Every structure is written in C-alpha cells, then in structure tokens.
A and B are shown apart, each in its own frame.
Chain A
Amino acid sequence: MISWEVLGAWLGAALVVWIYSFVYRDNVFYKFAEHLFVGVAAGYSISLALDSLNRVAIKPLSTNPAVSWHYVIAIILGLLMFMKYSKKYYWLARYGVGVNIAVGTALALRTTPMANIVRQITATILPLWTPDPVTTLNNWLLVLITLGGLTYFLFTIFPKKPEAGKPSLPYYVYRVLYTIGIYGMMVGFGALFANTIMTRVGFLISIYLQYLQPNAWASITAALLAAIAIIAGIVMGRSRK
C-alpha cells in the first residue's frame, strides 16, 4: 500500500520536472503544474491571512473584548476593502486601504531619516589620513565612491558645460565624481551579478537534492510524460500548419 507521503513525494518530483520542461518548450504538463501552483498558492495565501487574522484579532476579541474592542474598527475597515467589487460603493474600500498605507507610511517616515540617511552619512565621515595605508585607501574609496554615486543621482541641479568658453571648476569636480560614481556602481553591479549566479545555482542544487534525487523514478516517469507531450505538441503544430 502506497502511503500519502510517498505519493506526495512522487507528485512533488513530477511537478518539478513538469515546471522545468518549460525551459525546453511550453507543454500541457507545464500548464497543468503552473495552474495547480497558482491555485494552491492563492488558497494558501487566503488561509494564512485567515490564520493571522484569527490569532491577531479574533482570539483577543473573544477572550478579552474589554481591551481589544477597537479591533472591530479595523475589521470593519478590512471588510470595506471588498467593496472594490461594487460598481456603486467601490469608494468605501479607500477607507481600509487609506488607514493601512497611512500607518505604513508613518512607520517608515519616522525612522527612515535616521536609518537610511543619517547613519549612512555618519558611516561615510571617515579619516582620510591614517597611519595604516590600507585603512587610508579604504576610507578614500568609501568616501569618493559614495560621493560619486550621490553625484550621479543628481537629476535636477548640477553644473552644466557652458556652450562657449571654458567649463568652470565645479563642472570638472562634478564630472570627476560622476565618473567615479559610475565606475563604483559597476563594481557593485559586478558583485551583484556574481551573487545572483550563486543564488540561482543554489536553488537548482537544492531542487535536485530535495525533490529529484530522492524520487528518481517518479522524476524520470514525469520527464518522459513531458517529453511525449512536447513531441505531440510539435507534431500537432506542424500538422496544423
């Protein structure tokens, strides 16, 4: 008797293979796996939203309503979001959306100046002459590339090259920093690209180790089915032409 666990493992391996078959060509098994995934993911998302709602709002309301009574307002605001499906009362959804984004905006607004700006600036105020040449070089690079990057992102006010005559000193300073900024960002993007490869290959390795290798026969069977579907698709496509 095959257990649900074994059946599930086989199904999982088959789904992986069918999704991978898209790399070669779209086919009926890929489409099935894709639509199954979307459905399960959407249902999962709704269920987990219910789970969070239950543990954050419903439980406190049912156990300690004297303290949590105000959650009723949030629940009503949340329910109003469903009014977006109404042609007449769609605007009621704005109350729920509004409170939600206002809270998010306020939370970000009050700590972002410190977290993203002040702390980043203070971390760039570094001694440019130190006894250690390596530290000196690092500090120069940190300061120049940061200033260069900021210069690169000046979109409205920056020194422009005059149409006639010699450019001014600020223009030369701007151009030098701008160029350092671009080259600095190329270093950053190079590192980003290399790390992207690391992540994507890591995903592929874990797919193989976690789903395909332990269920080799299910994977091979699924691959054969996908191959037949792809060949059938090609043949049918040709016959139509």
Chain B
Amino acid sequence: MSFLSKVEKVLSARELLYTLLLVAVIAPILSPIGLPIGISSRTRDVYNYIENNLKPGCHVYVEVYYEVAARGELEPALMALTKQFFDKGCKIVYGSLISTGPIVFSLMLAGAPDIFAGKEYGKDYVFLGYISGGESAAASLAKSIKGTVKVDNYGNPLETLPLMKEVDSATDFDLVVIVSSGTDTFNYYVRQWYTPYHTPLLFAALSVIAPSIEPFVGAKQAIGMIVGQRGAAEYELLVGRKGLGIASMDAQSISHLLIIVFIVLGNVVYWGMRVTSRGGGRK
C-alpha cells in the first residue's frame, strides 16, 4: 500500500473527521480566541436604513418563521433587530406562518429579558401566534390582520390591544422583517406584501438559503438581508448587545478551517493518486 493510499485510508475514517469537528466546535467555546469580527457593508446598510428611515412610533411587522433547529442562526438576528426597533421607539407585531413559531417566540422572549424589559405587551408589541395556510394566510394578513385572526397567541381579543388599534393592513407598516428558515416564506411576502402594497421588506435568512433569494434583494424587492449567524454577529456588534452570534464566531472559524483543510487534503490525495497510478488514467 502506497503512502498516499495510507493517508487516504486515515482521512476517510469518518470517526476522525467527526471527532475533529466536535473538538473544533467545543474547544473555541470553552476557551474563546476572540477573533475580531469585521462588519460587512451589506449588514451596515441594513442597520443604517433602519436608523435613518424608522422614526419613533413607527410600526414593524416581524414574521417569525423558523424551525427550533434554526434558532442558533436566526434568533440572534431577531433579538438584535428587536433591540434596535425598541431603541428607536418602534412598535412590533410578531406573527408566524409556521407551527413552530410559538415555540421559538417563547424561547426568544425567555432569552432576551433585557430587550423586553420596560416594554408592555399589547402596547409595544403583540404576538399573533401561528396562522396556518402559508401564502393564503400571508395574503389575508396583508389585507387585514384583525379580519383574519380575532385573538392573539395568548387568547386576548385583538381589538382590546392598543397596538392593534394603530395597525391592520400591510400599508400600515413601515417595515416588514421576515426571519425565516424557508425559501418559500420570502416568496410569499414578496408576492403578497411587497408586490401589491410596496411595503418595504427586510430579509433575515439562514445562510444556506441566502444565495437563492439574492435576486429579490438585487431587484430591490427587499431593502437588504442579514445572512445567518455571521450577519447576526455583525448586527449584535452594531446594536451593542453580545449574544449567541458573537459567541459562535470562533467555533465557526475553526470548524470552517477544518473543513477547508479536509477539502484541500482530499484533492491533494486524489490528484497524487491519480498522477502516480499506472498510466495516470481516470479512476
């Protein structure tokens, strides 16, 4: 067995990669390196848009559409945005077209008592809860929230909540934020909120779906996008609240480095074996 074959055998052992990956994630969390996090111009543009265009008393609709698994990527962005909205004196209506919405919203509330401190439910923010129907629900809410759902997630009639006396349809909102782990949700809001009503949209997307929704941002159908955990970490820095995003960046860096090293090694071994194999033919 040649040297390269032996290397290939060692590297192919999944146990090695899995163990190294676990170490790459856990070690930087236990012993943070504190690598500096640069802020991309795209994230800064989103921050500046909110700073410059939203005035005290403005209304924001936030679609909370993600699986519990996606909390690590999206919750930091949701928290940081919420903090900025509250700091600006905005009022927020949260809604969810995914059934996990009430879970992730309650976990978000539990994880950010500082952000919601001093904010009154019903006056400063409202959670509509889960509304089934996907795109149909998005279209219905855009026309009239109170005409679609009568009570909020906690059983309070909407007409009794002061905030809901100020807003009802898509045109009443200054900004709509879609925090989503699904590509479809962005389509729903572009089709049912932006296209008919021109309500400005902001995307906060999982990294993995960001490339496929870039065309909407490129065509100015959304004012910008916060991409995954990296974007969330940058936003946490901008709003001045350290959270899971910043805490994860060292582990992300080391894990990425490990995967890049394995990809490069895989190619070195592949080409080495291909060149040294008799005739150099394709394997």
Contact = CB atoms under 8 A, between A and B. Distances in A.
Q: Which 5 A-B pairs have the closest CB atoms?
A: A206-B72, A123-B219, A198-B207, A195-B207, A199-B208
Nearest to B26: A208
Nearest to B218: A123
Most buried by A among B18, B72, B149, B194: B72
Most buried by A among B136, B150, B228: B150
B259 interface: yes
Contacts of A53: 132
B230 interface: yes
Interface in A159-208: 188, 191-192, 195-208
20 contacts: A23-B18, A49-B132, A59-B151, A104-B135, A104-B136, A116-B187, A119-B219, A122-B219, A198-B230, A201-B25, A202-B72, A202-B248, A203-B73, A204-B21, A204-B255, A206-B71, A206-B244, A207-B72, A209-B247, A213-B29
Given A115-B221, A195-B208, A199-B70, 20 more contacts: A44-B99, A52-B131, A55-B131, A60-B150, A107-B192, A111-B196, A112-B191, A115-B191, A142-B218, A188-B211, A197-B255, A198-B229, A199-B206, A202-B252, A204-B21, A204-B255, A205-B72, A206-B71, A206-B73, A206-B248
Nearest to A48: B99
Contacts of A60: 150
A142 B215 CA distance: 11
Interface string B93-125: 000000100100000000000000000000000
A207 B228 CA distance: 16
Interface of A: 23-24, 44-45, 48-49, 51-53, 55-56, 59-60, 63, 100, 103-104, 107-108, 111-112, 114-116, 119-120, 122-123, 142, 188, 191-192, 195-210, 213
Given A123-B219, A202-B228, A205-B25, A192 B211 contact: yes
Contact of B248 (A103, A119, A205): A205
B164 to A, nearest CB: 14
B73 to A, nearest CB: 5
Contacts of B13: none
A112 B139 CA distance: 13
B134 interface: yes
Nearest to A64: B150
A210 B277 CA distance: 48
Contact of A209 (B29, B212, B259): B29
B135 A108 contact: yes
Given A203-B69, A203-B70, A123 B26 contact: no
B215 A120 contact: yes
B182 to A, nearest CB: 13
A124 to B, nearest CB: 9
A56 B131 contact: yes
B194 A115 contact: yes
Contacts of A196: 207-208
Contacts of A120: 215, 219
Given A48-B99, A51-B130, A198-B252, A208 B219 contact: no
Contact of B130 (A48, A192, A197, A208): A48
A42 to B, nearest CB: 11
A104 B130 CA distance: 18
Contacts of B220: 123
Contacts of B21: 204
Contacts of A195: 207-208, 210-211, 227-228
A60 B146 CA distance: 10
Nearest to A47: B99
B251 interface: yes
A107 B191 contact: yes
Contacts of B192: 107, 111
A191 B248 contact: no
A22 B212 CA distance: 31
Nearest to B253: A201
Interface string B235-278: 00000000010011001100110010000000000000000000
Contacts of A204: 21, 25, 255
A204 B135 CA distance: 31
Nearest to A204: B25
B234 to A, nearest CB: 13
Given A108-B135, A123-B219, A199-B207, A209 B191 contact: no
A162 B50 CA distance: 57
Contacts of B210: 195
Given A107-B192, A199-B73, A199-B207, A205 B251 contact: yes
